[in-house]
Amino acid sequence: MKNKELFNLNPEENNLLNDGVVEINISKDKNGLATLRHELKTFVCEGEYQKGLYRILDTYLKFIDQPKQPAVWVSGFFGSGKSHLVKMLGYLWQDYKFQNGETARTIKPLPQDIQDLFVELQRKQDVYGRLSIVGTLKDFPSADVRYSFLQLVLNALGLPPQ
């Protein structure tokens, strides 16, 4: 038996389109969308990733009608997958729609408990409205963090960042 036979996807046939480096924001060009689609398709939602998604979604939904919403802090050592988790959560949260009609949540089946939370999230978004912001402050560098944050919000709304 060869190592490649142990994997669901043959590593000789599936190159990492992102070279193993996750960028939270993607360019909406052909390469950027292909990379996002590949990352969603190969996302392994098991173990700590599954627990993390569950904890974040469950906590958000429990507090959605409260005046305060607990913050999320994702920590880990360099290369542990923090950015990957946040990116996948962001695009799954907004159920990003590709031009061919596929969405982030339909590209690859998620564990049932996570699917159930996304169904509930969709119900709540239908009632309360939907706005999700995926990005990093470094994408809009400024000496004033408030300005950078404003740029993230404007970008999420599809407005010019300046």
The count of C-alpha atoms lying within 13 angstroms of the C-alpha of 145, restricted to the half-sphere facing its C-beta, is 1
Q: What was the pLDDT predicted at 4?
A: 74
pLDDT band at 42 (very low <50, low <70, confident <90, very high): confident
What's the average model confidence in pLDDT over 85-111? Answer: 91
For residues 36 and 22, give the distance between their C-alpha atoms in angstroms, rounded to a whole number: 10
For residues 23 and 115, give the distance between their C-alpha atoms in angstroms, rounded to a whole number: 24
* Radius of gyration of the chain, Cα coordinates, nearest whole angstrom: 17
**Distance (Å) of CA 147 to CA 9, 28, 84, 137, 142:** 43, 23, 25, 9, 7
> Minimal CA–CA distance to 71: which of 86, 87, 56, 92?
56
Alpha helices in the chain (DSSP H): 30-41, 47-62, 82-93, 104-107, 112-128, 145-156
Percent pLDDT > 90 in the chain is 31
Q: 67-90: per-residue pLDDT in tens? A: 998 888 888 888 888 888 888 998
For residues 6 and 150, give the distance between their C-alpha atoms in angstroms, rounded to a whole number: 46
Sequence spans of domains, the chain: 3-129, 131-162
Q: Which two tokens stand for residue 56?
A: 């974040």
Q: What was the pLDDT predicted at 119?
A: 96
Q: 2-28: per-residue pLDDT in tens? A: 877 777 777 677 666 665 666 666 667
pLDDT band at 161 (very low <50, low <70, confident <90, very high): low
Name the average pLDDT for the chain.
84
